[in-house]
A and B are shown apart, each in its own frame.
Chain A
């Protein structure tokens, strides 16, 4: 009996202790949590792709979630600016949201003219400050830009192509069993290009068939292309232009200086040879139909610098039957200059151009354009007559959407489409590539 009482007392003591500890812990918790939490913001445009028609009401739906254990109070404001940083509209209002609750806001913007606009949603609350940055476009197919095409532009490129034609390609096609698979044969390809410079590429031929359309890929900015093993239905040809990937024997320049190499002389500017490298790649494809290449079905593709190279290739050479490009670098270079001037931190490509100019104070922007007007992909766009698909990212600073669309609108093709990815920066998304695959199949009538 005595043991039982002792046991009960001990149990009672333990229970009381536990209750006191739990109560203390619960009392402490709100104090700890009051400093933990966040405000989760999301802004979605009424039109999923962030594009609106002229005169159409532009609106965003904002969802705000407060995970703090205390009410958040402060200001909500939004600012609309042009893509080159000019303020167009600003609005501020008081805002509060209860602890642990959610709220929705609708923001309507007065109709705008054709162009792209930045809209920043800012929340300055008791314990949380944040800004959600979005971009929307209005009737982008009506965007215009001035072409600064030099009078002798066509002659310049005709002469350049003439010089290329004088270079004996000396093609070498080297089978690489170490890289091949049961279903893909991989070849390393070498050829001499403009100014007799050696460049290389990768040819991947499916073993499952005798004749294939060609996916001809041109590279991004100092990006190494490797054998493309992804597609069963195409021969994949990836070329590394001079200074890229395995074509660095002579031209081996870092990313900071690549785009400014010989910028002061239009005849020696690096992209003269680079553009010709892409055409030499086409020469290779056309001279090797015996490998199963269907020369009537060559589509050229590239992203960023590759987008520029792709449009130049399709503009200069009608052997390209279909063009797909994403976020084409250098497009509408003069407007890109104006837009990039508003950036807090410089990005490609004007990061390099401005660095160069800082190092060469005597070099003027006019001199820059004297050279670059021969190379702006936009000036090649009217010469593109084949079907075109372009993808852009609305948040792209490297290739501002306005510049990409200016190029797009200058394309000489009547069969052209673009895809806008609203939350992408200098890239497109998986969906774009899925669509691109179907789109190219449609153009080539590939089953």
Chain B
């Protein structure tokens, strides 16, 4: 489950991280490639109960994960892109009695096709993405839900009006994900990102994510990789710097101010966008 969260969060950080449209929902462009290595940190000590009330974690207990993610995108045609993402995850679940459970290994492979349905004067784009999810680990290892899954995502992105920011952009995504298990889960997410240039090479982006995971398994699990029924709202703030047209780096942080049956998560990410 944690892996799932990590994937989602990584994707969102990526989405908001690109000042010049090399990512997010813009078509990558025929024959163009994008490679995005990233590092991601997630930590939680406290949690939200099923009613959304914050519950203080036991002293010394907590959950931390680090992941390195490699995202690759290739423009098959002007409208069709192939995307793939593979994480390597390390998790540590500390209990109040001092016990620790650690896991590490490859997480869920995420691979899909993105198709641009409509472009609005080459300024705004409506696209759909269909993806498959495959666990790259033994089901006994808690690096994810351990199930195959599929995702359908609708994406709308574009430039902000020039009166607001000449190189600003927005990106919105509505996604439905289903894991093929009797307990699901079914997941819905809605995200919105606004990127605003603060200088010729620098930008800030703000992302807002609403995430809901539905499952018959309502149990709370401190290892969020294995949780199935929960919800959260998470804003993220990212700073991006463009070194060259082909190389940009980004750093970001986030916090979970509201949630249900999930951790009060916070963390950050560092990533690079390499355009080949």
Contacts and interface: CB of A to CB of B under 8 A. Distances in A.
Given A431-B122, A442-B29, 10 more contacts: A208-B200, A209-B245, A431-B121, A434-B121, A437-B122, A438-B29, A441-B29, A445-B31, A446-B245, A447-B32
Contacts of B121: 430-431, 434
Closest 7 CB pairs of A and B: A447-B275, A434-B122, A442-B30, A431-B121, A447-B245, A447-B246, A442-B29
Interface in A223-256: 233
A442 B75 CA distance: 10
B100 interface: no
Contacts of B22: 447
Nearest to B245: A447
B140 interface: no
A434 B123 contact: yes
Given A208-B200, A434-B121, A447-B275, A442 B78 contact: yes
Interface of B: 22, 29-32, 78, 121-123, 200-201, 244-246, 275-276
A209 B30 contact: no
Contacts of A431: 121-122
A445 B244 contact: no
Interface residues on A, range: 10 to 19
A435 B27 CA distance: 13
Interface string A196-225: 000000000000110000000000000000
B165 to A, nearest CB: 15
Interface of A: 182-183, 208-209, 233, 430-431, 434-435, 437-438, 441-442, 445-447
B122 A438 contact: yes
A329 to B, nearest CB: 26
B31 A442 contact: yes
A183 B200 contact: yes
A251 B57 CA distance: 85
B31 A209 contact: no
Contacts of B275: 447
A431 B119 CA distance: 10
A233 B21 CA distance: 14
Contacts of A442: 29-32, 78
B29 to A, nearest CB: 6
Contacts of A233: 245
Nearest to B21: A447
Contacts of B245: 209, 233, 446-447
Nearest to B200: A183
